[in-house]
Amino acid sequence: MSPNEASTSLIMIFGATGDLAKRKLYPSLYHLFRKGKLAKQFAIIGTARSPWTHEQFRENVKDSVLTSIGTNDQIDDFVSHFYYQPHDVTDTNSYIKLRELAAELDSKYSLNGNRIFYLAMAPEFFGTIADHLKADGLTDTLGFKRLVIEKPFGHDLESAESLNAQIRKSFAEEEIYRIDHYLGKAMVQNIEVIRFANAFFEPLWNNRYISNIQITSSEKLGVEERARYYEKSGALRDMVQNHMLQMVALLAMEPPIRLTTDEIRSEKVKVFRALRPIEGEEVDEYFVRGQYGQGTINADEVVSYRDELNVNPQSNTETFVAGKVMIDNFRWAGVPFYIRTGKRMTTKSTKIVIQFKDIPMNLYNRNEQLNPNLLVIHIQPEEGITLHLNAKKSGQNMQTNPVKLNFSNDGTNGINTPEAYEKLLYDCLQGDATNFTHWDEVALSWRFVDKISEVWEHQTQSQFPNYSAGTMGPKEAEQLVQKDGYFWWNITDLDVENC
Ligand code: NAP
């Protein structure tokens, strides 16, 4: 086995005919295969109810690779490892056939009994599948067994606890890989490195030097075909409970004593434990929700959320959330972490802006305010870092001028940055769970979010829609930051190409 090569394994994909498998999993597996990162010996079983044959499955995998990557070099060799089993996840007989196919492939490819079960299916099936995998003998194997679970992991703490209790009957915590695909993104993984590998950031990374941190994850898209799911979820559960709070944890955690899964997770968990609970009347003070009305995106008129397909015309589901998150510990006391996420906003972008405190006195432009120093981490679609500084204006005077130092991660390694799913699949094959969420993180983040959704569920929301499609959300989101003396940095101004 080459040093980069992942463990030999049988990967079973539940939901193999679905959107996620097609758009993300097959192209990512193909990338790993082409880079020599999959073991020579591997096999993949796809399952779903559609009555496909192995051949039909392979043709579909070929199609999805070609559509997504535009090339299909060595594709026949790649797809020869794919097998299909028509399977209803609620039916015991299906699992027995699956067990037989797994045993056959295990011996054909010498897979040492290593198994990864990837649940790319609707969440209501997660528990049932885990139960069957154990009861019908699929987890009874000599090698490792790992369960990969897509989001959402529950829809509140109670449902997450019951799902967790159910899957823990079949898998130990260290065998469960809960996906938060933001943790697979190159620049999210870079947060730790920027902080802990640079002498000049870490000493300033605290409430003495940082005034506030802003995390924005905006989408231009509306709810698209996801209305049935989204109506029950909304932006708070869909984005804040997982991706946004995970970014907060990475920005706020203490340096781990070692870069091991346990040490990193334990530091993140401490951040979740230090989140100031926001409950009751405080919710309106700290959090703002919004729902898009009609508006203009890319010069096209788009309908309001309530007019989207499969959305209740009186829906109170939020498509936007802005919040002020406080971390009550020694390092962060008094520093607001502002988070903002929504659909149908001006631009598609995920960025983190770290705003440093003003210097005590401006020697240069006495009547003006100096621009604050900013560190901007561009997560997507651009990947990079920008540092905003003040330098001398050219000429005789001693006036200052804002300058920006840019690093763009796109293409710097000579290859496109691997997609999040490619990294996460590889990590799972290697048995590295660092970039997956531990149960404690999931539970604590639900505890935080539940207190907010409980209040919102009991309030009549008469203001919706309260922002037009194509804008950065309701005016209350601006006020949330302004009342602390700040403003949201304009995301498009901060783009790498505008720097
Ligand atoms: P999807 O397109 O609806 O696919 C669902 C899959 O489940 C299909 O392959 C379907 O195939 C299969 N299925 C449904 N009922 C079944 C049953 N009783 N027995 C066996 N198979 C059954 O869903 P998706 O978009 O791929 O999402 C899958 C999971 O990933 C969800 O948890 C979602 O929240 C999560 N996720 C998706 C995305 C994305 O970009 N799509 C992003 C993040 C997270 P048959 O109809 O052939 O049975």
Q: What is the token pair recorded at 159?
A: 């449902």
108, 130, 150: which is the final residue of a domain? 150
End-to-end CA distance of the chain: 45
Query: How many distinct structural domains can be found in the chain?
Result: 2
Per-10-residue mean pLDDT of the chain, 499 residues long, equals: 74 97 96 92 97 98 93 92 96 94 97 97 96 97 96 96 98 97 95 95 96 98 94 97 98 96 97 97 97 96 97 96 98 98 97 95 79 95 94 82 88 59 96 97 98 92 91 98 96 68
Considering the domain boundaries, does residue 429 fall inside one?
A: no
Q: What span, in angstroms and rounded, lies between the C-alpha atoms of 424 and 3?
A: 18
Helix (H, G, I), strand (E, B) or coil at 362: coil
Same domain, 98 and 228: no
Considering the domain boundaries, does residue 267 fall inside one?
A: yes
Cβ proximity of 465 and 306 under 8 Å: yes
Same domain, 97 and 192: no
Q: Which residue has the tokens 């498009």?
A: 492
- Choose one of 121, 147, 225 to mutate for the ligand 1 pocket test, by most ligand atoms within 8 angstroms of C-beta: 121
150, 171, 193: which is the final residue of a domain? 150
Which letter, b or e, does each residue of 457-474 get, where b requires 16 or more Cβ atoms within 10 Å of its Cβ? eeeeeeebbbbbbbbbbb
Q: What span, in angstroms and rounded, lies between the C-alpha atoms of 373 and 236?
A: 30
CATH for 91: 3.40.50.720
Same domain, 249 and 127: no
Considering the domain boundaries, does residue 2 fall inside one?
A: no
Considering the domain boundaries, does residue 99 fall inside one?
A: yes
Cβ proximity of 163 and 154 under 8 Å: yes
pTM more than 0.85 = yes
Same domain, 131 and 190: no
Which letter, b or e, does each residue of 423-447 get, where b requires 16 or more Cβ atoms within 10 Å of its Cβ? bbbbbbbebebbbbbbbebbbbbbb
Considering the domain boundaries, does residue 382 fall inside one?
A: yes
Considering the domain boundaries, does residue 89 fall inside one?
A: yes
Query: Over the stretch 134-162, which tens digit does the pLDDT of each residue have?
Result: 999 999 999 999 999 999 999 999 999 99
Cα of 123 vs centre of ligand 1, distance in Å, is 9
- Choose one of 13, 23, 45, 49 to mutate for the ligand 1 pocket test, by most ligand atoms within 8 angstroms of C-beta: 49
Same domain, 45 and 98: yes
DSSP 416-433: PPPPHHHHHHHHHHHT--
Same domain, 58 and 128: yes
Helix (H, G, I), strand (E, B) or coil at 462: coil
Q: Name all contacts of 395-399 with Cβ < 8 Å and 24+ positions apart.
A: 398/364, 399/364, 399/365
150, 174, 200: which is the final residue of a domain? 150
Is residue 87 within 6 Å of ligand 1 at its C-beta? yes
Same domain, 332 and 460: yes
Instruction: Give the per-residue pLDDT at 48.
Output: 98
Cα of 150 vs centre of ligand 1, distance in Å, is 10
Residue range(s) defining the domain that contains residue 24: 10-150
Q: What is the token pair recorded at 59?
A: 């043709």
Q: What span, in angstroms and rounded, lies between the C-alpha atoms of 424 and 24?
A: 11
Cα of 119 vs centre of ligand 1, distance in Å, is 8
Same domain, 214 and 360: yes
Annotation says 132 is catalytic: no
Considering the domain boundaries, does residue 433 fall inside one?
A: no
